[in-house]
Structure 1
């Protein structure tokens, strides 16, 4: 997809990045904090509620079942109603549900609230990917997604010490510290969700903060790309859901998410086990180190890949690096070496994601993009359900505390091999250009 150089287009892209990306990163930070803070609250939550390790693992993972089931419908509703309305709805409802986790008192209530949290948040991430593809042309999309993905390590860089501080906060308003953790971080998401309704703009032609020439240049470039995508990729939602490349992308993303959540859920408790045994400010600060490394690594690797190409090869290399770091983290009793291993894992599984998403968004357009991106993400995020349960199963079967992390590392290596084995840029089969609300880009 080639585009004629245009000062108006370049200035529109720069202005859109400056206005939209910081707010989208803030949304992503809050989403990930509310998804992963259960890992910080694990020990005290279990102590106060009597949850077993198996019940915690099941509850931590069941989030992704509701998330996956409602992913595609949610993203299609966002395509119908626009990001401003739908992203606001998602954030407000998930914030309220996350805050209600403070009232967990049994395994059943924990399962119910984690399931509802997944349903409430469904469509958030694929909605963001779709939103970015509606704003940024292909020539800048990988860099833009790389910048957006800074929100991932930032969430854990900021969320780790904040969560640790809240857990050390005594008993505010008569609540246990872990209850305060869920209330504060959940309601923060709801507040930002309300702001999103007034701040976001669905498409370039609606942006009053762009001048007329910038709006026209950016809209023209994006419409031109969509026409080419529909000529070489699935032309409707149903075609996208059946497309072999979409399904293969989902399988690869499943392996990626297995690596991600195998670390995210257990990093704080692993470091705590090597230090004081208490998840508080000290562990929060130590847990933040891998995410600093991930920010630096993502900045360098995505820029290099954009400059020299071979995004698929780089994505495979980063997933293999994540697998190596995960395995190495289980083989040492040294805090310093464990943190170094987690740094490699974090660099790998954060870098692989923006590199990966440039592949399916390169040929999915219009409503097919809404459905296809959501399906890939929903399949992939089931890895978040499987990861803690696979880890626990491997440890129970072998009787080794290392076996769980080794099993997740193997899944990461399989994902890297799948990336190397499949060519996303192969010539697409011919598709029919059916017109209608599920088969073409809607008017603005």
Structure 2
């Protein structure tokens, strides 16, 4: 029998600390790696664009619509996916999501016309729907509200790490595999970067417990303590029918804030390689290497903002500060786009700000909602917010074709981030600062 049960000298606080340390080390590294794979498959089309458009004779409008149509499928299937995960369990559902999107992502290498490109991107959105909000919901099964900004940051660091790792990796694939076995470099990109998602999807079936009670690596005392903490945390939360969540004004207000935040995230995700190329860098491997710099800065910013928000129990101003930093960075990068030095510093500031908003934001809905309401509410907020992933590249692509510059589109994204930062300050303090 485990020493934590037999030894009465181990107090509740120490047992809780040991239990959460065990949970964190067991779950977060794996979920983090899964998110790296997910985000890489979602935005590697930004690197494929460097060669794909000329090979297939696509315009920037076609690319922008194709990059963004992913989020239409995502929007329609995300809430149902999250509700089904809550009902049937995370292990099978997350595995299903990852294996499905790996196959669809691979299929993108067969795109030959705008129509096939649109269909494959739409199907990828359907396949991936539910992954991110599913993990956010899954973490609420384990951690109380006061721990969630830091835990969310550890998971969501998968985005900047995907940039740090994926940038040089994508650049290398684009450079080294062009013409191999008769495939273009962008086709190899979709094929090779889908393999980790498939492998991780299979591993999920064997590795991921559905919740505290099914975690064989926790003692009975640890399970009871963690379940008690979740029960205490759930007191006072909103537990209502799914239909009521969909008509809840507070949920829609948070969705609007998140939409503004996602305008920045996908503006960076889909156009960072293009912005660096516009600053005078032409080699694919060099572009990939330079994209790692802004994402490396974002890793530090996410951890600092999340830790400070949890420690001070203050989230509105932390979110607003990060959003304003992101808006200013993208604005400066656009104004000085021809100066690689200034542009890289500004892009690093903008990317860090965009990514730092995310772990702070996701502590809000999980603190307010519980049970099936959390499943539906988190799914709704994420699906509506991620419609920005359709709007953002579509606007930039269309404006690029009209004005022959990405500048106007990036100005729109910077303005959206500014609006989101301001809206966050209208959140009632007692609802989000905990």
TM range (shorter): over 0.9
Alignment correspondent of 2:292: 288
Q: TM-score, normalised by structure 1?
A: 0.92
Aligned positions of 1:69-80 closer than 5 A:
69-80=76-87
1:188-207 matches, within 5 Å, as 188-207=196-215
Deviates more, 1:7-16 or 1:128-137: 7-16
**Structure 2 residue aligned with 1:435:** none
Deviation at 1:23, TM superposition (A): 0.4
Out of 11, 23, 30, which is 1:23 matched to? 30
Question: Which of 64, 77, 81 is equivalent to 2:88?
Answer: 81
Alpha-carbon separation, structure 2, partners of 1:188 and 1:139: 33
* Count of aligned positions: 420
Q: Residues 307, 227 of structure 1: CA spacing in aligned structure 2 closer, same or farther, 3 A cutoff?
A: closer
Shift of 1:395: 4.7
- Whether 1:366 and 2:374 are equivalent positions in the alignment is no
1:302-381 correspondence runs (5 A): 302-332=306-336, 333-381=338-386
Superposition deviation, residue 424 in structure 1: 5.8
Which residue does the alignment assign to 2:222? 214
Once structures 1 and 2 are overlaid, which stretch shifts more, 194-203 or 134-143? 134-143
Q: Is the 8 A contact 1:394 1:407 kept in 2?
A: no
> Is residue 2:18 matched to residue 1:14?
no
Deviations 1:256-282 (Å, cap 9, x if unpaired)?
00011111111112112223434x211
Q: Deviation at 1:107? A: 0.4
Name the CA distance, whole Å, in 2 between partners of 1:113 and 1:189: 17
Structure 1 pair 275–120 and aligned structure 2 pair: CA distance change class (3 A):
same
Please say if residues 133 and 361 of structure 1, whose CA atoms lie closer than 8 Å, have aligned partners that are also in contact. yes
| Structure 2 equivalent of residue 144 of structure 1 | 151
CA gap 1:424/1:175 in 2 versus in 1, 3 angstroms? farther
Q: What corresponds to 1:114 in structure 2?
A: 121
Q: Aligned residue for 2:59? A: 52
When residues 363 and 405 of structure 1 are mapped into structure 2, their CA distance, relative to the original with a 3 A threshold, is: same
Partner of 1:228, secondary structure, is coil
- CA separation of 1:270 and 1:400: change in aligned 2, threshold 3 A: closer
1:18-73 deviations in whole A, cap 9, x for unaligned? 01000000010000000000000102111211111111110000000000110000
Q: How does 1:364-403 map to 2 (within 5 A)?
A: 364-395=369-400, 401-403=406-408
State the distance in 2 between where 1:68 and 1:330 align: 30
After the TM superposition, which of the residue ranges 110-119 and 185-194 deviates more from structure 2?
A: 185-194
Superposed counterparts of 1:234-249, under 5 Å: 234-249=239-254
Q: Which residue of 2 aligns with 1:256?
A: 261
Deviation at 1:398, TM superposition (A): 5.8
Cα 1:354–1:106 change in 2 (3 A) is same
Q: Distance in 2 between matches of 1:394 and 1:113?
A: 24
Partner of residue 300 from structure 1, selected from 298, 304, 316: 304
1:343-377: CA deviations, max 9, x gaps? 11111111101001111111110010000000000
| Residue aligning to 1:124 | 131
